[in-house]
Structures are given as C-alpha cells and as structure tokens.
Amino acid sequence: MAIEKFPEGQQGGALDRVDGRQKVTGAAKYSADHIIPGLTYGVLVESTIAKGYIKNIDTKKAERAPGVLAVIYHGNAPKIPGYQTGGNPAKPPTGGEPFRVFQNAQIYFAGQPIAIVIADTYERAIYAVTLVKTEYNKDEHRTNVEANKDKAALPKGPRYADYVRGEADAYQNAAIKIEAEYTIPVEVHNPMELHATTAFWDGEDKVTVYDKTQGVKSTQRSIMDAFKLKEQNVQVHTDFVGGGFGSGLRTWPHVIAAVLAAKKINKPVKLVLTRPQMFTMVGYRPYSWQKIGLGATADGKLTALTHEAISETSTYEEFTDRTVDISKVMYACPNVNTRYKIIALDKSTPTWMRGPGEATGAFALECAMDELSYALQLDPLELRIRNHADVDPVRNLPWSSKYLKECYQKGAEAIGWSKRNPKPNSMREGEWQLGYGMGAGNFNANRGRATVKAILLADGSLVLQSAVSDSGPGTATTMTGIATETFGLPPNKITVELGDSSLPPGPTQGGSTTTSTLGSAVHDVCVALQQKMAELVTTKEGSVLKDVKPEDLVFAKGFIVLKTDASKRVAYPDVLKQWNLSKLEVTKDSQAGDERNKYSIYSFAVHFVQVLVHPVTGVVRIKKVVTVADAGKIINRKTAGSQLMGGVVSGTGMALMEDAVFDHRFGHCINNNLADYHVPVSADVPHIEALFIDKPDPVINPIGSKGLGEIANVGFAAAVANAVYHATGKRIRALPITPDKLLV
C-alpha cells in the first residue's frame, strides 16, 4: 500500500516550533521565572581586585539592613563536603583545581564571587551588597595575553602536544609563501537570558534546582558531587533556555552558591546574575594570538602549513580548545605542523563558545588562505578546490560523507561569485567600496549517548522523554519531526518532554550533537515501540493481524497496516484496547558503534559575503550572506535554517563588533554591559540565504543527520575579513574589524 504523507505543515521536515506559542506569549517559564512560596533573593558580592586574598570582610552593616536574612562568605559558609575530598562541582574540562566558592580567602580574578547577600526582596539584597566592606591584601596580577606570551606553556593533556605531519615549518622554504599573525579578543557569550538558579531544600539531603543550564544531568551530577547527595535527591529543571552559546555547558560557582545559601537559611533562594557578572562568572571565548605560515607551488598546491596559537586560561584551571585542529584536517597538504600553548592568567576560566576552537582557528586559517590566493594571483575559491582533502589527512580514513565541493558551488552561484572583479578595491556601489569574500570550515560531527522513554497512551498519542535541555535550536520540534516520520503519528499527537533530570538520561546540549544523539535515540525508541506493538497485534486472538509476520506490517498515520491488504489494519490505540492496557512504554538507550574507527565524520560549511565599506567613515555593512552547510540530512528546514542564520549573526558579532575590553592595570573588563559590548542587532543583520546540501550521512547514525550548530559560525569571520580586504585592499588581522582599524 502506498503510505500517504501527512499534509504540508504536519510533516516532520517543516514543522513550526512546537513551543513557539509558549515562547511568544510569555507562557514559557525560564529558570528565573519560577515563583516558589517563601522565595528569597540572593545577590553576589564581587572581588574588586584581581589577585590576592581577603584580609577582612565586614558584613555587619549589611546583615542589619532591612529584609536581609544572611550574608554568607568564607568566614561563615558551611563547608561543601564534595570540595574537601576533591569532588569537583564545576568540573574543569582538562584538569586543574576548581574554584571553591566561599571556601577560602583567596582571590583569583576580578569579579570573583566572595559573598552572597540574601534578603526578602531583590532590591533589598542589591542594596545590602553595597554595605559589605572588604579589605584585601593585593598581589600583582597578570591579565594580558600579549604582555605575557613568554609565559605560554603546553597544556597538560596529551592531545595538545605539537603535531607534525611531514616536515615542520616547511612553508619557510616554499616557492610561494605567506606568514601572518591574527588576534581575536575575549568575546563573551551574552545570551539574552541571564544565568539564574533557584534552589530549595527538602530536609538535609534533598534539593530541587531550577537552573539555566545546557545539561540538566551534568548540573545534577555537579550538585550531587559537591553536596554528597544521591542522584534521586537532586532534581534539576530547565524548562526553557534563553540562549546559551556555551555559557551553560558547565556548572559554575554561582549555582553551588545558590544551593549552599538555600541550605544555610533553609529557604528557597533565587540567584540571578547581573549583566556585568555575565562577563566574569560564566566563561568567555579566550583571547587568542595565532600565526599561520602557508607554502604553495606556483600553481596553487599547498605544500606546507604551520599553525601556532597562544591562548589563555585561569590560574586555577586549565581550559583548552581545538584552535589549531582545523588546520590538520581542512586541506590536503603533505607538511603540516601545529603548536598550541596557553597562559595562566588572573582571570576566571574561559569556556567553549559558539564553535569553540574551530571558529577561532578558522579565522586565522581562512584569512591566511585568502592572503595566499592573492600571493598566487589565484581565485580564493579555486585555491580551496585545488586543495580539497579527499580523505581525512590526519587519520588517512575516508569521510563518512563530504559535500564541501557542492557547498562551494552552490554558495558561489547564490552570491554571484563570477561577478567579482578579483582586484582589491575595484568594485563600488555608490560611494561605498564593495567586496566579496569567502571562508569555509568544518566541525567534528559527533554522536553521544541518550536514553529515551516512549509512552503510547490510550488515546493513541505518544510521549517521549529525555533529560536534555533545549538551549534554543528547537530540540522538542526536531524530535517531534523525527517521531512523526518514524512512528507515523501526526505532530499534534506527539509530546516531547525535556529539561528534567529525573527523566531518562540525555546528553548536555553542546558541540552540535543533540540531533545526532537524541534524534537517533528517538528514532530507535520509536522503532522499538513499533516492534512491541507488532508483537502484541500479531499474537492477540481475534486481532485482524493475528499471525501476520511483523515484517509484513507498516506503520502509517496511526495505523498498523498489512502491506498486502490495506483493509487489514489496527489503529494504535486499539492495540492497547486489545490487551486492556492503559499505556505501553518502551525505554531505549542509544549510542554510536565503531563507525568512528573506520570513517572520519565531519560537518562542513562555506560562507560567502558581500560587504560595503565606507571609505570616509570606515563603517562596514554586510550586504548579503550566503551560507551553505553539509550537515547531513536536514531534519527540520525551518529550525535548521534558523540555526544557520543564528551562526551568521554570531559570526557578524565576532567579525565586526564583539570585544571584551580589559583594563589590565586593574584586571577588570570595562565594557561589561550591552551598551558598550556590542552584539549585532536586527539592523546589523543583512539578507541571509541559509542553504543546505541535505544529503543523509550513511554512517553517523540511523537518521543521517550530522551536527549543525557550530559550523554555522566556523569560517564566517574570515569571510567578512576577506571581503573587507577585497573591498578596500586593507588586511585586518585583529578582530573585530572596527572603523578605526580601516581608517589608519
């Protein structure tokens, strides 16, 4: 029988956001929106120095202020049991000692939380914070990467050892060579929603937390470890997240502070970070210095590539990312070497942000490729095609799928690349200089582990549950789409429940893995549930499908149907009725197999931009963007399109605006607000064409979908910088590309 499709709008591939109405009407509850009886308000007191220790902290005046319930600091804070034994609440990614909130007098960074004031209203808490007086013993601090490059050292992890393929630094002897240095300042995630935690205890050993996090299970684990609690006694809820971009990937000290405060005063405590605190307490993209050396033959074949980077971490943890890794795999090149070092500075620990590592590295690599193209007098797109990596050059393994050449072609057509006059500063639009630029990127397409419970209810509707928090891409929507297509129910009969740590374990939402990981688990659990239903319907006396072989059945539009005779069918709810069941449940754990040993699995993207540069004011306007992604099968073209556009917006900020400025005399970030730290607003965002190859990857997972979130941002800033060079003949190697840099 021909299986009819659901009508347009109800197909899995083009669903509107299932939670869109809740979001736009304000019905969606974010982590700071939960009002609990007896709620109190915590506000953090911050260190005003960058290094040293607290000599004295006078909390008396604050404690006597109206409405104040407690002031907690290292002198009176209960010991956090998990800290004593090395338990690690804010688990650092690659080792080091975590920052232990309120456990000692040490100051590691300016803006460090040193106390929490709890009052009956937020305003009273904010006021009382001003009454806390702190005296310090100050030490000399260091916060400047450029001034401390001599102190850069190899990270401890083995994967950061210098990499050499062929001969190191071979570009120095190449026929055509370029060598250039690039810098990216500190950038801050700045999701619209502030980080917020509301915690309340039930007795001595049970706590419930509403937290803004990208991983309810990892936050649960952090609190369990810190307070030595059992899993079932820590509940973490994250119903909605107003953007994360990586800031919610870890459990930060303020979360532990809120849980600690709620325990000490035995009342629910809500702690919402201020916008300035968002610049120091929840991570940032570390400052980076990079140097690229490229060597090529006169006909544009890469012979050598050297990529060096120096980045920063805190003194108490070692944060690293994959800044130089993209240079190992992006192009076919016989001689490649990388060096990656970090400097420990008196700042808070950086973290993953919007295409971490690859977005940083691709800025340098893809600008350098552009510079090489001019040295060769070769079209920059043609240079990339000539050096396409047909296999993974590091592991010498085939790609699971790679449509980067198709991305190049599709993007070039859509932007009108053939109309580009290759000569810099040659094109005009009115009084503006017009430039075309491009940049490409890749990102490891991973698949993690997830468990999903599927519940078929008596009314024939399906509930899917997993402890994943959706930081914005529309996870419930894509999962609904996958279930629609796999299970054969219309979307309005499917409910996806997420964001609750007591649901079956799911991954942290990060690294572009949710659709691949959770989507595969949804697929697998739907298939398992169908198998169970097939078993029931073919073994029940009196069922029209009794004794039919399961492989002769299809599942479509809420019916189990005999392939050869469509009149023989059983509606989903009737399976339950046949067996007198109120519901049917299947739980399925799903994870990758050994395919990664045989294939290299990556997503790819290319960005083409047109920019306009004003020759008198130096203002850069992005006129048009075409971004093309090879992210495997596109599960939902609306949410995927939005994600690609979001990456372009984020890349626009990186290219033209974002710059967390530090006054190194004091170690403070001085533009720690959204008036002075610029992010793109609607008027900065041009027409964006978000295009997909949309071909399933045959290897990565049963749904064929690779990662998308990060590649949307990898290579974009380079495309803008390259377009600015084409427009003006000025090569800006230090982000962001602000007018002052173009006017010198």
Active site residues: 710
Q: Using CB under 6 A, which of the segments 240-248, 336-344, 419-427, 652-660 binds ligand MOS?
A: 240-248
Token pair for 20: 């869109």
CA distance 45 to 482: 46
Q: Using CB under 6 A, which of the segments 165-173, 239-247, 330-338, 589-597 binds ligand MOS?
A: 239-247
Q: How far is the CB of 508 from ligand MOS (least distance, A)?
A: 8
Q: How far is the CB of 250 from ligand MOS (least distance, A)?
A: 10
Sheet of 52-58, strand order: 106-107, 52-58, 133-138
Closest CA to 640 of 6, 13, 3, 9: 13
In the Cβ-directed half-sphere of 712, how many Cα atoms lie within 13 Å? 29
Residue type, 143: T
Q: Using CB under 6 A, which of the segments 347-355, 387-395, 484-492, 690-698 binds ligand MOS?
A: 347-355
Q: How far is the CB of 246 from ligand MOS (least distance, A)?
A: 3
Residue reference for tokens 């100051």 = 107
Q: Using CB under 6 A, which of the segments 238-246, 373-381, 432-440, 667-675 binds ligand MOS?
A: 238-246
Binding to ligand MOS, residues 648-667 (CB under 6 A): none
Token pair for 530: 């169908």
The residue from 18, 65, 209, 353 that contacts ligand MOS (CB under 6 A) is 353
The residue from 108, 240, 352, 677 that contacts ligand MOS (CB under 6 A) is 352
Closest CA to 189 of 646, 638, 498: 646
Q: How far is the CB of 643 from ligand MOS (least distance, A)?
A: 12
The residue from 52, 82, 246, 361 that contacts ligand MOS (CB under 6 A) is 246
**Judged by CB, which is closer to ligand MOS: 472, or 491?**
472
Q: Using CB under 6 A, which of the segments 243-251, 260-268, 578-586, 673-681 binds ligand MOS?
A: 243-251
* 473 close to 709: Cβ distance less than 8 angstroms: yes
Q: How far is the CB of 241 from ligand MOS (least distance, A)?
A: 10
Closest CA to 354 of 243, 448, 255: 243
Phi and psi dihedrals of 557, rounded to 5?
Answer: 50, 40
**Judged by CB, which is closer to ligand MOS: 96, or 356?**
356
CA distance 255 to 197: 6
Which residues, listed in sequence order, are joined to residue 607 by a DSSP beta bridge?
A: 439, 627
CA distance 221 to 241: 19
**Judged by CB, which is closer to ligand MOS: 246, or 736?**
246
Neighbouring residues of 574: CB distance < 8 A, sequence distance ≥ 6: none
Q: How far is the CB of 356 from ligand MOS (least distance, A)?
A: 5
**Judged by CB, which is closer to ligand MOS: 115, or 498?**
498
Q: Using CB under 6 A, which of the segments 220-228, 241-249, 647-655, 671-679 binds ligand MOS?
A: 241-249
Q: Using CB under 6 A, which of the segments 3-11, 85-93, 245-253, 322-330 binds ligand MOS?
A: 245-253
Q: Using CB under 6 A, which of the segments 62-70, 129-137, 348-356, 449-457 binds ligand MOS?
A: 348-356
Residue type, 435: G
Binding to ligand MOS, residues 188-227 (CB under 6 A): 214
Site for ligand MOS contains 249 (CB under 6 A): yes
Site for ligand MOS contains 441 (CB under 6 A): no
* 525 close to 707: Cβ distance less than 8 angstroms: no
**Judged by CB, which is closer to ligand MOS: 293, or 511?**
511
In the Cβ-directed half-sphere of 1, how many Cα atoms lie within 13 Å? 20
Q: How far is the CB of 289 from ligand MOS (least distance, A)?
A: 21
Residues touching ligand MOS, count (CB under 6 A): 11
What 3-state class would DSSP assign to 215? coil
Neighbouring residues of 150: CB distance < 8 A, sequence distance ≥ 6: none
The residue from 245, 289, 399, 555 that contacts ligand MOS (CB under 6 A) is 245
Closest CA to 483 of 430, 526, 427: 526
Binding to ligand MOS, residues 477-536 (CB under 6 A): 510-511
CA distance 714 to 732: 18
Token pair for 695: 């071909």
Site for ligand MOS contains 354 (CB under 6 A): yes
Going by DSSP bridges, is the β-strand pair 269-272/40-46 parallel, antiparallel, or unpaired?
Answer: parallel
Residue type, 549: K
Is residue 662 packed enough to be buried (19+ CB in 10 Å), middle (13-18) or exposed (0-12)?
buried
Site for ligand MOS contains 82 (CB under 6 A): no
What 3-state class would DSSP assign to 229? coil
**Judged by CB, which is closer to ligand MOS: 358, or 524?**
358
Q: How far is the CB of 701 from ligand MOS (least distance, A)?
A: 18
Neighbours of 627 (CB within 10 A): 30
Enter the DSSP assignment of 460. Answer: S
The residue from 244, 253, 286, 680 that contacts ligand MOS (CB under 6 A) is 244
The residue from 283, 286, 356, 474 that contacts ligand MOS (CB under 6 A) is 356
**Judged by CB, which is closer to ligand MOS: 143, or 251?**
251
**Judged by CB, which is closer to ligand MOS: 221, or 354?**
354
Is residue 566 packed enough to be buried (19+ CB in 10 Å), middle (13-18) or exposed (0-12)?
middle
**Judged by CB, which is closer to ligand MOS: 213, or 610?**
213
**Judged by CB, which is closer to ligand MOS: 293, or 350?**
350
Neighbouring residues of 256: CB distance < 8 A, sequence distance ≥ 6: 80, 89, 90, 101, 222, 223, 226
Q: How far is the CB of 67 from ligand MOS (least distance, A)?
A: 37
**Judged by CB, which is closer to ligand MOS: 353, or 634?**
353
Q: How far is the CB of 509 from ligand MOS (least distance, A)?
A: 7
Q: How far is the CB of 359 from ligand MOS (least distance, A)?
A: 9
Token pair for 120: 């009956």
**DSSP for 723-741, written as a single string:** HHHHHHS----BSS--HHH
**By the criterion CB under 6 A, which residues form the site for ligand MOS?**
214, 244-246, 249, 352-354, 356, 510-511
